[in-house]
Amino acid sequence: MVNVAVIGASGYGGGELLRWLSCHPEARVRVATSRTYAGRPVSDSFPGLTGLLDLSFSPGADAVDLEGCDVVFLARDNGWAMKAASEFLLHVPRLIDLSADFRFRDVSVYARWYSDHAAPSLAAEAVYGLPELHRDAIRTARVVGNPGCYTTASILALAPLVASGLVDTSTLIVDAKSGVSGAGRSKFALDYHFAEANESVTAYRVAGTHRHTPEIEQELSALAGAEVRVTFTPHLVPMTRGILATCYASLVEQRDAEGLRALYRDFYAGHPFVQVRDGLPSTKHVVGSNMCHIGLGVDERVRRVTVVSAVDNLGKGMATQAIQNMNLMLGLDETSGLRIPGMWP
């Protein structure tokens, strides 16, 4: 049995971690912190955990005893983990960060999109936590930067095409939609009020300004062996959770959909949480799971491929992917506690 600490556990990401960890057969949540709910039962913040997780929130990371914990999840805002990680690693041998602080190999890229990095040596050591691309490196990592939700869906959709050299990488377009939980529990901006978001679809952070853009480009560039740039446009849709990424690319040679599906199935062979569909996926197919479903079509008239991927932004796009990383880091079965299908209907 491994002992787990979750720092910043009362937000959506932390809550989803607690939900999945509460029924993980090989993990026990020993510490969960929250400044808002300090001293109160976890079930006060997440009533669904009543009777399932007998634990109260500790007040903060500096006021808890982490000795004996095998891994710590950091579920705080961008900019916090990079200042706190070194201290955590004095007490806990493995660290998984759900913010953007350890997702970038080049801290100058992080600085352009966020702020100056406070721990460049740890950033250089950290592994990007997408198991389908970095499984072996994750197994031996001390620090894993858990990917963003849009990036997970987008990278998994495009990786086989880019790695195979079958597409012109100057033509990559990602059009993605997210449920409102992607903004986090503390998001109180007017755009996220029910009356504003309901029955409306809104594009935001357009024209290369969304912070998940450089993550997508970093991973696709590594696969291509050359610099890749993408046009990424996110949208907010009136649903609670889910990511649907519709990705476009021009083929460098004529290929049909059947052949490309075979390519995708070969690429993701042995990766249990990516399923290549004959049809097209919907967010409803994967909600509440760690699955990514991928489907595609080819417009042979213009030699262009459209790839659609669906993930749960709180699942494979965040918390369950972090647990998948934990399983790999601690030598557990990669699928332990995660073989749960999407909720339907």
Could you please report the per-residue DSSP string of 250-314? EESS---HHHHHHHHHHHTTT-TTEEE-SS---GGGTTTSS-EEEEEEEETTTTEEEEEEEE-TT
Question: Which amino acid type is present at position 215?
Answer: E
Q: Do 65 and 158 sit in the same domain of this protein?
A: no
- Note the pLDDT tens digit of each residue in 227-268: 999 999 999 999 989 999 999 999 999 999 999 999 999 999
**The pair of three-digit structure tokens given for residue 66, joined into one six-digit string:** 């982490």
Q: Do 205 and 113 sit in the same domain of this protein?
A: no
**Is residue 308 assigned to a domain?**
yes
157 in Cβ contact with 216 (< 8 Å) = no
Instruction: Please identify, among 92, 125, 158, the residue that sits at the C-terminal boundary of a domain.
Output: 125
Q: Do 96 and 178 sit in the same domain of this protein?
A: no
Per-residue confidence (pLDDT) for residue 196, from 0 to 100: 79
Q: Do 75 and 154 sit in the same domain of this protein?
A: no
Is the model's pLDDT at 192 over the cut of 90? no
- Note the pLDDT tens digit of each residue in 120-169: 999 999 999 999 999 999 999 999 999 999 999 999 999 999 999 999 99
Q: Do 55 and 180 sit in the same domain of this protein?
A: no
Phi–psi pair at 56, nearest 5 degrees: -110, 150
Q: Do 178 and 279 sit in the same domain of this protein?
A: yes
Range name among 53-62, 128-137, 188-197, 271-280 with the lowest pLDDT average: 188-197
306 forms beta bridges with 248, 297
23 assigned to active site:
no
**Is residue 345 assigned to a domain?**
no
Q: Which of 162, 125, 142 is nearest to 251 (CA)?
A: 162
Q: How far apart are CA 28 and CA 155, in angstroms?
A: 31
Q: Do 102 and 174 sit in the same domain of this protein?
A: no
Is the model's pLDDT at 62 over the cut of 70? no
- Domain containing 281 equals 150-314
Instruction: Please identify, among 125, 141, 162, the residue that sits at the C-terminal boundary of a domain.
Output: 125
Which residue do the tokens 């699955």 mark?
A: 291
Question: The domain spanning residue 105 has which CATH number?
Answer: 3.40.50.720
**Is residue 332 assigned to a domain?**
no
Structural domains counted in the chain: 2
Instruction: Please identify, among 110, 125, 140, the residue that sits at the C-terminal boundary of a domain.
Output: 125
Among candidate residues 69, 149, 247, 292, the one labeled active-site is 149
Q: Do 109 and 190 sit in the same domain of this protein?
A: no
**Is residue 255 assigned to a domain?**
yes
**Comparison of pLDDT for 181 and 71, the residue scoring more:** 71
Range name among 8-17, 95-104, 159-168, 214-223 with the lowest pLDDT average: 8-17
Count of all residues that appear for the chain in the document:
345
Q: Do 61 and 175 sit in the same domain of this protein?
A: no
